[in-house]
Chain A
Amino acid sequence: MSVHRPEGLSDVFMEPTEAPPAAPPNLPTLGFVGWCRWAWRQLTSMRVALLLLMLLAVAAVPGTVWPQRAQDTAKVATYISDHPTTGPWLDRLGFFDVYSSVWFSAIYLLLFVSLVGCILPRTKVHLAGVRGRPPRAPRRFTRFPAQGSGLVDAAPSQVADDAVAVLRGGWRWLPFVPTYRVDTRDEGDGTVSVSAERGYLRETGNLVFHLALVGLLISVATGQVLHYRGQAIVVQGRGFANAQVDYDTFEQGTAFTPSSLVPFTLRLDEFESRFDPDTLQSRDFTAHVTLTNPGEEPVEETIKVNHPLDAGGAKVYLQGNGYAPDITVRDASGEVAFSGPTPFLPQDEVYTSRGVVKVPDVSGDQEQIGLVGYLLPTVDVRETSFGPAYASVNPQPDDPALVLAVWRGNLGLDTGVPQNVYELDEARMTQLMDDDDKPVTLVVRPGETVDLPDGMGTLTFDGLPRYVALDLRHDPALPFVLVFALLAFAGLATSLFAPRRRLWLRLSPGAGEDAGRTVVTAAGLARGDDVGLQPELDRVLTDTLTRTADRPPAAPRGPTSGDATP
């Protein structure tokens, strides 16, 4: 059996059991192939694997130090503008996309190449080992960590049979599955040796773990290629269809086809929230929705945090919620210029929500209107020297109010540049001031209508529906990711906790005073530290000797009976 060993791996089971004849180092000159082989041996060596592992650990850290595009694009933009000299350089070097950067990918890909280069040959060796016989007993037992000896009144071959029976005996709790693979060899001169090995599972677990990691990587990559993910804000009483255009943001893998979207529709009927009355921390969010699959009756469902809804082969998650004040704006000529709910984004735990209402469709040649401000679910007004200050004191809509500043001018919606719906482009807008040259602040409660300044029209706060932010995700590789992760876990646990042991017994006919008896010597070797090795060797030895001693005397005992009469 050829023994493959990764460069630098220290493993007692791969050491030759007898010292090899010392050969002078033979160093041929390296050609191109030689260099390639040398590089491959280096890459698959334990030392390089160790180096790559530590490099991977170090390379993963910058992702927590610098903001990452994958999580927060806005934060990255802020960082770059705040650090005009270092920012662009860090960006060029991939510090804002660490986990998809060239250097990070290079490290883990090299690591996986090294892993495969190390594991595949070992799998071959292991398969051969599983099919083969346990290794022959070494000539001398003195250098092994576990040793034992005994003396018994029986012929060596008889003791060997008993030893084989004991070793094949199985576990106490699982008696029919043999623990050891056993092999006997006749060493000549009446001496018999028994070799036994157990714990092939240990190496199997090790190989399964590493191969499962490769499977995991491939599954994750496949998921990246096939997945899609969409985010939509849905206001109470309204719905959306599972089509790319209906999502606010949509992200897909390279192999995704739009036709794979199942065209279901989802409507938000009601949203419930519960908060702790003292700390105002959230306690429960429940979205009651109606799901209509194509060609089926509508069904009522709920979506909660931690309880996504399965729809059209994808999962729909409840990722956020808030208020979308329903506002109607009439322009100076009394025409309805805007009407409908506008989602406001919660900024804190009392749902102080910021939002922008853009009113482009004013009649005639009036100026466009922009409203910027806050929704306060439960308003608290405090008089200060600068005038009244408004704040929210409860996330529930007990006494809601809109506090808005008014702008007029050109909203810039027709420039063709995509705009953030939650920000007002103030470039061509002017804020309206009152007679004291202070910004105009409108305070509106539900059902109220207020006049816009300078006779620009009126604003009506019609109602306060809620909205939910839904996140829909489909990743066909998920079951594979899970299976490979669990395989890796099982393999790891087996490789660390299943003991791998080799035991040898040598049974030689006694000489001189012990003539006619059998001298038993035994040795044991384990992979890694194994406190159970010596006890196990002792048990095997004791059981074998007792078994032989208890055996009914078979046929004429021959020379053994001579013991009694010295």
Chain B
Amino acid sequence: MTTGDLSTLLVWGAATAFTIALIAYSVDLARIAERSQKRVPEAVLAGASASRPATAISGSEAQSAPGRSPRAEGIARSTTVLGLVLLFGGIVLRGIAAGRWPTANMYEFTIVGVFVAVLVLTIVQRRRVIAFVGVVVMGLAVLALVLALNAFYIQADQVQPALQSYWLIIHVGVAITATGIFTVAFAASVLQVLRSFREEALTAVDGPAVTVGSTSPRSDRFRRWVGGPKFGWLEQVPGSRELEAMSFRLNAIAFVLWTLTLIGGAIWAEHAWGRYWGWDPKEVGTFVAWVVYAAYLHARTTRGWSGRRASYFVFVGYAVVLANFTVVNLVVTGKHSYSGI
């Protein structure tokens, strides 16, 4: 067996470990949902008796212990770490097999990006497991790994002259790290939006059902749905403000890294192609994502746009990041067409 084959095998192993972690997180989430569903009347009561929305937030934090499944969480944690170790081995061996830094094509970009995302997830969860974020990140990780192994895979090999530069390490490495962090931030934002709708739905019980921004009947229906017993598990996650802060911190780090990607890319383009900016499709995609995340940072400090509305920018931004990786690499031809597929 060659080093390259061994690397592929390790990546498959990591995908398997992450699948088990995904199942464990889902079981954990299901347990939480089950328990909280039983306690729904109580939760509504707690919400009803509370006159301030803040009670719903602090109250849920106090009850974080009972609804969880320690065994599932243990399995999730250990398989996540196991997967990380296997994936790291796979990435290192891939680099050895190719005789260069392993960030040159879509396959390598994906496996390193998954590694970063799961690593960030592990760091974020070092004190407290947030099952939902685990489910979202692990789901994306397993999907990306399987896609990489089946659709993006190419033999480990040397690279063409245009890629033979130390910027391959800096520019692509930073871009991958940023993408990984954006992924976890996106998961946190999804959770934040759900949680925020539920908080509103629960506080609306005692007063007149008029809350900030409740204008369209559709969003009202959504609020009622999220406020219902099906989403009881949301009581177990951190409050929407806390999640917003977490998402912002991650997005801020990733945005700074994304800026570095743009600048590093421009310097490399100046070396390799003789111009620092040429509106290549990949450059456009990266620029659009940068502008959308810049808008997100502005929205956070704009009155009437902070909180849930600002996080919609995160959804758009992350969609652009993903499209910039997949659509631009596979469909559009440009100077960044290095996918090898």
Contacts and interface: CB of A to CB of B under 8 A. Distances in A.
A57 B291 contact: yes
B271 A482 contact: no
A54 interface: yes
Contacts of B270: 478
Interface in A523-551: 528-529, 531
Given A46-B298, A63-B284, A306 B263 contact: no
A136 B245 CA distance: 28
Contacts of A276: 157-158
Interface string A44-85: 001101100110110011011000101100000000000000
A50 B162 contact: no
A471 interface: yes
Interface string A284-320: 1100000000000000000011111000000101010
B151 to A, nearest CB: 19
Interface residues of B, number: 53
B276 A481 contact: yes
Given A46-B301, A49-B298, A531-B245, A489 B278 contact: no
B96 interface: no
A63 B272 CA distance: 22
A349 to B, nearest CB: 10
Contacts of A220: 277
Interface string A385-414: 000000000000000000000000000000
Contacts of B281: 63-64
A68 B279 contact: yes
Contacts of A529: 244-245, 248-249
Contacts of B285: 64
A485 B306 CA distance: 28
Nearest to B260: A489
B269 to A, nearest CB: 11
B164 A60 contact: no
Nearest to B300: A528
A54 B249 contact: no
B275 to A, nearest CB: 7
B294 interface: yes
B271 A308 contact: yes
A89 B127 CA distance: 59
Contacts, number: 128
Nearest to B303: A10
Contacts of A493: 256
A473 B272 CA distance: 12
A53 B295 contact: yes
A257 interface: no
A282 interface: yes
A64 B267 CA distance: 22
Given A306-B162, A489-B260, A70 B278 contact: yes
A496 interface: yes
A248 interface: no
Nearest to B164: A306
B161 A285 contact: yes
A64 B259 contact: no
A315 B274 contact: yes
B284 A488 contact: no
Interface residues of A, number: 54
Given A57-B288, A70-B278, A317-B273, A10 B245 contact: no
Contacts of A70: 278-279
Contact of A281 (B160, B256, B266, B272): B160
Interface in B302-338: 302-306, 320, 328, 332, 334
Contacts of A305: 161-162, 164, 272
Nearest to B297: A496
A70 B252 CA distance: 34
Contacts of B284: 60-61, 63-64
B64 interface: no
A8 interface: yes
B336 to A, nearest CB: 11
A488 B256 CA distance: 10
A486 B297 CA distance: 20
A63 B279 contact: yes
A63 B282 CA distance: 11
B188 to A, nearest CB: 13
A71 B136 CA distance: 39
B301 A9 contact: yes
A61 B277 CA distance: 16
A283 interface: yes
A307 B301 CA distance: 44
A220 B249 CA distance: 32
A8 B303 contact: yes
A281 B279 contact: no
9 contacts: A50-B302, A54-B292, A60-B288, A306-B165, A306-B271, A478-B276, A486-B263, A489-B263, A493-B256
Given A8-B303, A57-B295, A497-B256, 18 more contacts: A46-B302, A54-B291, A64-B332, A304-B161, A305-B272, A306-B164, A306-B165, A306-B271, A308-B271, A319-B273, A486-B263, A492-B255, A492-B256, A492-B259, A496-B252, A497-B252, A529-B245, A529-B248
Interface of B: 155, 157-158, 160-162, 164-165, 244-245, 248-249, 252, 255-256, 259-260, 263, 266-267, 270-281, 284-285, 287-288, 291-292, 294-295, 297-299, 301-306, 320, 328, 332, 334
Per CB-CB distance, the 3 closest pairs between chain A and chain B, nearest first, are A529-B245, A305-B161, A53-B295
